[in-house]
Amino acid sequence: MDTTNDTLHADILVIGFGKGGKVVAATMGRLGKRVVLVEQSAHMYGGTCPNVGCVPSKALVHRSGKRRPEDPPQEWYERSVQETQAITKLFRGGNYDALNGMDTVTVLTGHGRFLDPHTVIVDTGTGQVTVTGETILINTGSHPIIPDIPGLRESEYLVTSTELIESTVLPDRLAIIGGGYLGIEFAAIYSGFGSQVTMFEKASAILGHEDDDIAAAAVKILADDGIEIVAGAEVTEVRDAETGAHLTYEKDGVRHTVEADAILAAAGRAPTTHDLGLDAAGVATTERGAVRVDAYLRTSRPHIYALGDVNGGPQFTYLSLDDSRIVLDQLTGEGKRSTADRGAIPHTLFMTPPLATVGLTEKQARAAGRRVRIGSQAVADIVAMPRAYVVEETRGMMKFIMDADTDEILGAALLSVDAQEIINTVALAVRHGIKAADLRNAVYTHPSSTEAFNDVIAAIVRTDEPQTTGV
């Protein structure tokens, strides 16, 4: 596409180079449509996942797990970060070339802002380009939330997850504010590299949305790895000193202070919608600042769609990919696919070993009035899973929640080696109504982690009547 003029017209204009937007851009480009993709940072071609999210963080999970006690922490960490940055650079370049190399697609690097419902002004740093689009996709992702704690924003020791994984200096003492998925993953990573990690969580416990037995098993693993978890604590102040930051927190009415060389804000992420000119486009937002969409990802302007984190849904790359399928069905298909079609979406917490879940927890199933059977075993006790011993990771447990009357799989929690992979098999079974007995009696390769299903689903630890009160 010709970019010599200061004005471009596109059939499809995509603001943000995230997973969902780039898939739509590439697909429509291959169909011969004129596509303009706007990304404000040359560091973010391909979106959060390959640059500052899933890929680098999971690469560091892997490398931290390979460090031996005799390996110097700082040297091992610096090399790991450099190796990880080489991977992200490769992916970033591949994403850019794949799109910009198409005759029908132009990638503009600069900040885009709506002028009206069909026009976006892109400030490239060397000038402005006016882009008009028949169909527009907002795919600008999300950004870290910095808690409103006195002294935190001003602290020279404050880091976001992006800043932390790009630094080659391993903090001796890392404080993490927030005990959700991000906080736990980074606690596991940096503890593995040799940092002294303290994680603060306001709630009375971390992983409170999981069943108590699963949460207890995960917490024990984290504690055994040297991570200090301070739950029921509120950080009230941060003050910088010559030797590091001083964090003051209150727990059970008592005030405490700890020192840290780095403070990771892991309090969640918010949709990136500021300075997009959404008012000029007539695009409505929610109270949380997300772009408001319907089940087909259409905004208050029918020709404008919002994909990925920016639309306020669950912040997972694989759901952004599914967003692209919904939008493509609107643009090229029957227009029937919607977010309502999603079912049994799995999630993985990448601690070591990972915790992967799908469907209902036991307490959710019982609260819903279901009569359940629970199949559960510690990984170390699963006879049919020698792989755990082969790879020297026998920590954790597996748990299945089944309907006692129909043998339907209601949910599962897998805290084990390979959990991030085998949970997809369970999710597929739930999605297609495969009975627990079918999963239990299936023939699996050996030695594998999946064959644990042969034992765990048969290991019934209890059958409970539903709880109808007190829930």
Q: How far apart are the C-alpha atoms of 294 and 253, rounded to whole Å?
A: 45
Q: In 261-369, which residue ranges form alpha helices assigned H by DSSP?
A: 278-281, 317-332, 362-367
Query: What are the backbone angles phi and psi of residue 462, rounded to the nearest 5°?
Result: -170, 155
**DSSP E strands: which ranges in 181-227?**
196-201
Q: Pick the catalytic residue: 43, 256, 303, 446?
A: 446
DSSP alpha helix (H) spans, 333-402: 362-367, 387-390
CA distance 57 to 50: 9
Instruction: Label residue 54 exposed, middle or buried (CB < 10 Å: 0-12, 13-18, 19+).
Output: middle
Q: What's the CA gap between 409 and 430, in Å, rounded?
A: 6
For residue 307, which phi and psi values (nearest 5 degrees)?
A: -125, 150
Eight-state DSSP code of residue 292 = P
Q: Give every CB contact of residue 247 below 8 A, 6+ residues apart in sequence.
A: 175, 200, 235, 237, 238, 257, 258, 259, 260, 263
Tell me if residue 118 is catalytic. no
CB distance 463 to 403 below 8 Å: no
What residues act catalytically? Answer: 446
